């Protein structure tokens, strides 16, 4: 009596997907002590090192909060490294306004579009319109002009945050 074995491949045409196997899939576990979650977020063990830790999402966030890219460098070396990396990545700054393909008219990021809506402006407003709207709304909602009005103070903070976003975006475009 012949021994029956199941074949992994049933000939042509292939009735299963390429790369699918019968064996169990190996899952890398989080490198954090006593963590039983899958470790699918690689993190460098040290700067410029090919070795990686593999953390779960929670521990990767914890690791990144404490990461200091310039650790061990004096001030001059840190400035030199930052300048060299800005130079290497400068080709990508022309597309930074796309902000990962978010909504908008193609010239402004999602944050800029939100800031324009806070300032009650259209998406095609130029920087002079932004400045005028910021001054008008800041003057109307300033805590000194409306003491004791918490809603006006909150509106003033939102207007200031919108101004900061749009001013920095304009500085990046001009530079």
Interval 19-28: pLDDT, tens: 666 666 788 8
Which residue do the tokens 């009005």 mark?
A: 149
pLDDT above 70 as % of the chain: 75
Task: Give me the residue spans of the domains in the chain.
Answer: 26-88, 98-174
The pTM (predicted TM-score) of the whole model is: 0.43
Helix residue ranges, H only, 89-175: 110-118, 127-141, 150-174
Q: How far apart are CA 21 and CA 113, in angstroms?
A: 48
Output the CATH code of domain 98-174.
1.10.287.110
Work out the number of other CB atoms within 10 angstroms of the CB of residue 159. 24
Residue 141 confidence (pLDDT)? 92
User: Virtual CA dihedral for 148, 154, 156, 159, nearest 10 degrees?
Assistant: -170
Residue 23 confidence (pLDDT)? 65
Q: How far apart are CA 94 and CA 77, in angstroms?
A: 27
Helix (H, G, I), strand (E, B) or coil at 53: strand
Interval 115-163: pLDDT, tens: 999 999 988 888 999 999 999 999 999 999 889 999 999 999 999 999 9
Take residue 132 and report the two structure tokens written for it. Answer: 């005028």
Is residue 174's pLDDT more than 80?
yes
């Amino acid at each position: 009596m012949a021994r029956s074995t199941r074949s992994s491949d049933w000939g042509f045409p292939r009735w299963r997907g390429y790369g699918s196997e019968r064996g169990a899939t190996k899952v890398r576990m989080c490198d954090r002590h006593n963590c039983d979650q899958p470790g699918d977020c690689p993190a460098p063990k040290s700067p410029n090192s090919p070795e990686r830790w593999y953390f779960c999402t929670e521990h990767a966030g914890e690791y990144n909060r404490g990461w200091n890219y310039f650790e061990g460098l004096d001030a001059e070396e840190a400035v030199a490294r930052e300048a060299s990396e800005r130079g290497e990545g400068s080709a990508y700054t022309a597309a930074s306004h796309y902000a990962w393909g978010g909504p908008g008219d193609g010239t402004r990021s999602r944050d800029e579009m939100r800031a324009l809506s806070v300032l009650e402006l259209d998406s095609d407003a130029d920087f002079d319109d932004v400045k005028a709207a910021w001054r008008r709304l800041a003057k109307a909602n300033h805590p000194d002009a409306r003491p004791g009005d918490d809603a006006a103070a909150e509106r003033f903070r939102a207007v200031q945050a919108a101004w900061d976003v749009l001013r920095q975006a304009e500085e990046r475009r001009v530079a």
